[in-house]
């Protein structure tokens, strides 16, 4: 069998397996470090992917399970961010070492991007996740609750200190330090950034007028920039007074504290598998499988959630 045809058949089987076990929220997070990529077995096939960092921990679990069940296949996934994953998937002016068999993105490809994929593309939503607001205030007692006004104000650069009355208002009995807020954001094109900005665009007029929804934001103030969900989580962990947005699984892995956020029903909800599922429960997928849940309803819904897509070549 020609190598290309064999690779195509294996990729179809591989993705079919992911779809069967996927299409869900990310499940109970694990603090176990991901295993390094397995070497390509003699006579075997390497399937190479690249893209979003938000589901990367989950993908590594899936890929490891698939490899154990199918020893002739090795799967590599380069967690470079959704924007870079889409660029490599489109395949224009990519280096040989950047060529991939499939992509991954936490922001569905736009029509203009899809039109640039030779032979067409298929987007498959395979999982979903909560985008947590993790923070570093080790001496803070109690559980931090942030209203929609408060967390919007933080990312707009309008709330600059942890003792701001707009934060204290929803946290009675908690004494906040006179400490500057250090915002940690993504430095590269990111689907996680898109999920947060899409939500802020839906709930805050000032954000909508200044920034809108995008994978790259010109952040106000002196935001700290880090690469990938892992980089943002690490920067928060090592920066007193920091707050940033990460996949909940990365926050959990590093033991970061996360804020309860006010949802559409004025309830304060923690990021979790259960609350992400509640946010997506009333969502219907259109035929093109591209859907964004910018501000989910439901008293148990966590307000910032996103689907994550595997990108496949149609031909």
Written as tens digits, the pLDDT of the chain (315 aa) is 344 444 555 566 666 665 555 555 554 454 444 445 556 777 788 999 999 998 998 899 999 988 888 888 899 999 999 999 999 999 999 999 999 999 999 999 999 999 999 999 999 999 888 999 999 999 999 999 999 999 999 999 999 999 999 999 999 999 999 999 999 999 999 999 999 999 999 999 999 999 999 999 999 888 999 999 999 999 999 999 999 999 999 999 999 999 999 999 999 999 998 999 999 888 888 888 888 899 999 999 999 999 999 999 987
Same domain for 226 and 277, yes or no, is yes
Same domain for 70 and 157, yes or no, is no
Same domain for 115 and 158, yes or no, is no
Instruction: Say what the pLDDT of residue 30 is.
Output: 46
Instruction: Say what the pLDDT of residue 17 is.
Output: 65
Same domain for 159 and 112, yes or no, is no
Same domain for 119 and 233, yes or no, is no
Same domain for 175 and 91, yes or no, is no
Same domain for 236 and 140, yes or no, is yes
Q: What is the DSSP string of the chain?
A: --HHHHHHHHHHHHHHHHHHH-SEE--S---SPPPPPPPPPTT-EEEEEEE-STTHHHHHHHHHHHHHH-TTEEEEEEE--HHHHHHHHHTTT--GGG--SEEEESSPPPHHHHTTSTT-EEEEEEEEEEEEEEE--TT--S--EE-HHHHHHHHHT---BTT-HHHHTTSTTPPPPS-B-EEEEESS--HHHHHHHHHHHHH-HHHHHHT-S-SS---SSS-EEESHHHHHHHHHHTSTTEEEEEEHHHHHHTT-EE-EEE-TTS-EE---HHHHHHHHTTPPP-TT-----SS--STT--S-EEEEEEEEE--
Same domain for 60 and 143, yes or no, is no
Instruction: Say what the pLDDT of residue 222 is.
Output: 87
Instruction: Say what the pLDDT of residue 38 is.
Output: 57
Q: How many domains does the chain have?
A: 2
Instruction: Say what the pLDDT of residue 83 is.
Output: 95
Same domain for 282 and 173, yes or no, is yes
Same domain for 124 and 134, yes or no, is no
CATH of the domain at 207: 3.40.190.10
Same domain for 294 and 228, yes or no, is yes
* Domain extent at residue 267: 130-305
Same domain for 124 and 136, yes or no, is no
């Amino acid at each position: 069998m020609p190598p290309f045809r064999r690779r195509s058949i294996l990729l179809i089987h591989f993705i079919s397996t992911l779809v069967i076990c996927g299409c869900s929220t990310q499940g109970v997070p694990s603090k176990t470090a991901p295993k390094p990529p397995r070497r390509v077995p003699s006579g075997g096939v390497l399937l190479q992917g690249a893209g979003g960092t938000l589901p990367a921990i989950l993908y590594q679990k899936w890929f490891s399970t698939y490899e154990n069940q199918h020893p002739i296949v090795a799967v590599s996934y380069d967690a470079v961010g959704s924007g870079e994953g889409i660029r490599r998937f489109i395949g224009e002016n990519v280096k040989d070492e950047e060529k991939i068999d499939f992509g991954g993105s936490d922001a569905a490809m736009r029509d203009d991007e899809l039109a640039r994929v030779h032979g067409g593309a298929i987007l498959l939503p395979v999982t979903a996740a909560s985008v947590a607001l993790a923070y570093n205030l080790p001496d803070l007692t109690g559980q931090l609750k942030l209203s929609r006004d408060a967390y919007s104000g933080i990312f707009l650069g309008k709330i600059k200190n942890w003792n701001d009355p707009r934060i204290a208002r929803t946290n009675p009995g908690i004494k906040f330090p006179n400490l500057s807020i250090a915002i940690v954001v993504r430095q590269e094109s990111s689907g996680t950034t898109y999920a947060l900005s899409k939500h802020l665009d839906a709930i805050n007029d000032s954000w909508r007028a200044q920034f809108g929804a995008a994978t790259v934001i010109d952040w106000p103030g002196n935001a700290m920039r880090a690469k990938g969900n892992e980089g943002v989580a690490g920067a928060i962990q090592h920066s007193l007074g920091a707050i940033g947005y990460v996949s909940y699984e990365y926050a959990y892995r590093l033991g970061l504290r996360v804020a309860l956020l006010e949802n559409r029903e004025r309830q304060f909800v923690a990021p979790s598998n259960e609350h992400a599922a509640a946010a997506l429960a009333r969502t219907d997928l259109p035929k093109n499988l591209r859907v964004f849940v910018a501000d989910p309803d439901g008293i148990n819904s966590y307000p910032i959630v996103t689907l994550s897509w595997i990108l496949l070549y149609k031909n």
